[in-house]
Amino acid sequence: MIGPGTHLSRSVELRVFLRSLLLQASWNPKGMQNLGLVYALYPALQVLYPDPEKRREAVQRHLTFFNTHPYVAAAIVGGVLYHEERIAAGEEDPRRVNEFKGALMGPLAALGDGFFWLSLRPAAGALCAALVPWLGAWAAVLFLVLYNVVHFTLRAQLFRMGLQLGDRLVEAVARAHLPSRGARLRAVAAASAGAAAAYLAFAFGAQQGGVGGWLLAGGCLALGALSYVLVARKVPTAVLTAMAALLAGCLGAWL
Amino acid sequence: MHAGWGHVALAGAWGALVGLERRAFLQAMFSRPLVAATGMGLLLGQLQTGLYLGMVLELFYLGTASLGAALPENDTLAASGTTAAAAMMAAQTGGGGTPAIWSLSLILFAGLGLLGRAVDRRVEAYSATLSAHGLELAEHGELERAVRQNLWGIWPYAAVYFVLNVGCAALGMWIGTFLSQVPLVVLRGLAWAFPAMASVAAAIAARGSRARNAALWGLVGAATMTAATLVLAWVSE
């Protein structure tokens, strides 16, 4: 059955999910992800609204400002389908779906930024960067696997939650305890960065050999510690890097 | 291995792919410096160059993130462009990559992150016109065309990052022809500069991790690695 009162088929849901991977294709300062959202939803709106006028209204409903974290947006996209099914069946006021989007995009963006951008990615990145000397190119592969197993699993789960729970997805997302997991991941990132610094100092020191090698290794470790303090005092990172390069370069040339 | 224009084109193609993956499609982190630089090194036959530059740039940009509407430096262009240039320099010398070449690339192409950010702003302005056009088309009932405007936002990333990476690779190839004339003392200085810059990058990463007690965790990591290195050195003796 097509039109009001219908439930979307699995293939339409899958198409919407896959098209949501292009959510940011036309990210812009005015509507932000508005065009990407409508692009993702369109296959579902075509099924739910066979009447061209109703479909036009539905498309325009979602061309308003929309911005959230691109991964957790899957939950909102799923939730929008949940509401649109009910709107098409005449069970809900069309304003309800925009209220749903407006209420969730901010908090979910904060959650996604905190967990994915500021915890999982730095942890996986620093850990795999520190493993480069042992794993070589496989460190990059390991990074992609570690990151994307979590990323795609959560993205698919969030979409399903939105689709099945609608507004109640907030409670389900809260039960995932993402902020506390993020804190542990950030500690992994810091420890891995320290390990990478030590490895690089010793590896390049050993390559140099002799007294110069020990000087280089010790100097790099001291430079790392000093840089940490200076970064904390808001010294620009470009200035720090340039100064370090100049200092080490002069020493290397002189010795 | 000798550098050729085929390699330059290959650098452009990989740069375009990771450049559009960063923002427009998927965001599965192929665009992170560790992956973008390693891939570039692998494609240009200079894997070690890609690995070490990827490692350092991953640490350097570890804490940067696109939060809300904020636009950070473009870590992907920094990684792909710097590695393309370094790999072409290394290939021109006829040998593999060296810390001196890596340092030189990092110094010469340090502005790529900022250039990438400026490009991203331009592309966003173009996307705003797509959004406005989409609204107009939707009002006139041309819904298929309206939603397809989203796809028009992809090509600028691919095109611009193709051109920029081709430029970096070609520049690297050209600079590589002069490397044999660089005095040994300068090369030695550049070789020392690489681990120094890597140390700073690691400190920036530890700070950028935003971990509670980041200094302590960084110290634990460094101490563990130091102990492991010393034990390994002692055992191998």
ipTM, interface predicted TM-score of the complex: 0.94
A165 and A232 co-located in one domain: no
Quick check: B192 and A249 in contact, CB under 8 A? yes
A68 and A179 co-located in one domain: yes
pLDDT for the residue A129: 95
Q: Nearest CA to CA, how far is B85 from chain A (Å)?
A: 19
Taking only residues 2 to 41 of chain B, the set having a beta carbon closer than 8 angstroms to any beta carbon of chain A reads 23-30, 32, 34-35, 38-39
What tens digit of pLDDT does each residue of A28-59 get? Answer: 999 999 999 999 999 999 999 999 999 999 99
Quick check: is A83 in a domain?
yes
Residue A133 in this model has a pLDDT that exceeds 60: yes
What tens digit of pLDDT does each residue of A174-223 get? Answer: 777 777 888 899 999 999 999 999 998 888 888 888 888 888 888 898 99
Beta-carbon separation of B150 and A187 below 8 A? no
Containing structural domain, residue A117: 10-183
Going A38 to A41 to A43 to A46, the CA torsion angle's sign is: negative
Quick check: is B220 in a domain?
no
Instruction: Specify the residue for token string 């308003």.
Output: A64
Quick check: is A3 in a domain?
no
Q: Which of A214-218's residues contact partners 24+ apart within 8 Å by CB, and which partners?
A: A215/A251, A215/A255, A216/A248, A216/A252, A216/B192, A216/B195
Distance CA A119, CA A180 (A): 10
Domain endpoint, select from A183, A200, A221: A183
Quick check: is B120 in a domain?
yes
Strand partners, A32: A28, A66
Quick check: is A204 in a domain?
no
pTM: 0.93
Distance CA A38, CA A43 (A): 9
Q: What percent of chain A has pLDDT over 70?
A: 98
Q: Which residues in chain A have Cβ-Cβ distances shorter than 8 Å to B55?
A: 129, 132, 196
Q: Which of B24, B55, B106 sits opposite A129 (nearest CB)?
A: B55
Quick check: A6 and A46 in contact, CB under 8 A? no
pLDDT for the residue A99: 94
Instruction: Specify the residue for token string 């530890």.
Output: B206
Quick check: A213 and A207 in contact, CB under 8 A? yes
Instruction: Specify the residue for token string 């991964």.
Output: A71
pLDDT for the residue A1: 43
A117 and A154 co-located in one domain: yes
Quick check: is A46 in a domain?
yes
A137 and A246 co-located in one domain: no
A69 and A120 co-located in one domain: yes
A220 and A151 co-located in one domain: no
Task: Give the best residue of B32, B199, B204 to mutate against chain A (max A CB count within 10 A).
Answer: B199
Quick check: is A38 in a domain?
yes
pLDDT for the residue A3: 54
Residue A70 in this model has a pLDDT that exceeds 50: yes
In order, the DSSP letters of chain A are --STT----HHHHHHHHHHGGGTTTT-BTTTBTHHHHHHHHHHHHHHH--SHHHHHHHHHHTSS-B---TTTHHHHHHHHHHHHHHHHTTSS-THHHHHHHHHHHHHHHHHHIIIIIIIIHHHHHHHHHHTHHHHTTHHHHHHHHHHHHHHHHHHHHHHHHHHHHGGGHHHHHHTT-HHHHHHHHHHHHHHHHHHHHHHHHHHHHHHH-HHHHHHHHHHHHHHHHHHHHHHHTT--HHHHHHHHHHHHHHHHHH-
Residue B190's Cα: distance from chain center in Å? 20
Domain count of the fold of chain A: 2
A131 and A239 co-located in one domain: no
Quick check: is B236 in a domain?
no
Domain endpoint, select from A148, A183, A218: A183
Amino acid at B187: L
A58 and A100 co-located in one domain: yes
Quick check: is A5 in a domain?
no
Confidence of residue A6 (pLDDT cuts 50, 70, 90): low
Quick check: is B130 in a domain?
yes
Quick check: B21 and A21 in contact, CB under 8 A? no
Distance CA B55, CA B49 (A): 10
What tens digit of pLDDT does each residue of B42-101 get? Answer: 999 999 999 999 999 999 999 888 887 779 999 999 999 999 999 999 999 988 899 999
Q: Which residues in chain B have Cβ-Cβ distances shorter than 8 Å to A186?
A: 209-212, 214
Containing structural domain, residue B91: 5-210
A148 and A105 co-located in one domain: yes
Distance CA A179, CA B120 (A): 30
A172 and A214 co-located in one domain: no
Beta-carbon separation of B24 and A24 below 8 A? yes
Beta-carbon separation of B150 and A38 below 8 A? yes
Q: Which of A32, A194, A238 sits opposite B221 (nearest CB)?
A: A194
Domain count of the fold of chain B: 1
Quick check: is A230 in a domain?
yes
A241 and A168 co-located in one domain: no
Which residues in chain B show pLDDT less than 70? 1
Quick check: is A17 in a domain?
yes
A22 and A139 co-located in one domain: yes
